[in-house]
Amino acid sequence: MKNILFVIFTISLLTSCKKEAGEGGLASIKGTVQTDLRLVPSNPVTFQYSRPGADEEVYIIYGDNTGPDDRVWTNYKGEFEFRNLRPGDYKIYVYSRDTTGSAQVNAERMPIVREVKIEDRKAEVDAGKITIYDVP
C-alpha cells in the first residue's frame, strides 16, 4: 500500500510541475540579422545598401525575466541560433542605430525586439530576418 501511495504521489508531483521558458530542452530558435546602411539613419530615402549583420550580439530573454538570459554572436552570414530551449515565450533582441530620433540615452543602441514562442519541445523556430541600421 505504501508503494502505491508513493508512486501516485511521485506521478502527481511530476505532472504538476510546469517548466518555464529557458534552457534544458530540445528546441531551438534561429534567425538572421541584416544591416541596412543609410547616410542618415532616420531617413529611409538615404538607404545605400544591405549586408549580412556579421559579428552582431543577439540577446534572448526567457519568459517574463527582465534582463538578458543569454547571448550569441552572428556568423559571417548574419545567422544566429539559440539551442537547448524549453517550450515557452522568448524575446530576441539586437541593438541598432536609432532610426526614430527618439533615443534618449544612446542613439547607437536602440533595441530591435522580436517575440518568439516555442510550442513543441523539439521545435526549430525561425525568428526570421531582423534588420538593424547603421551608417556606411
CATH T-level topology, domain 20-134: Immunoglobulin-like (2.60.40)
Question: What's the helix, strand, coil split of the chain in %, to 5?
Answer: 15, 50, 35
For the stretch 47-75, pLDDT in tens is 999 999 999 999 999 999 999 999 999 99
C-alpha cell at 106: 544612446
**Contact status, residue 78 vs residue 34, Cβ threshold 8 Å:** yes
DSSP letters spanning 44-97: GGGEEEEEE-TT-EEEEEETT-SS--EEEE--TTSEEEEEEE-SEEEEEEEEE-
Q: Which residue has the higher pLDDT, 103 or 61?
A: 61
- pTM passes above 0.85: no
| 116 strand-pairing partners | 90
| Rounded Cα gap, residues 49 and 38, in angstroms | 8
> Given pLDDT bands bounded at 50, 70 and 90, which one contains residue 1?
low
Q: Of 30, 50, 37, nearest to 92 (Cα)? A: 30
Q: Domain map of the chain by residue range?
A: 20-134
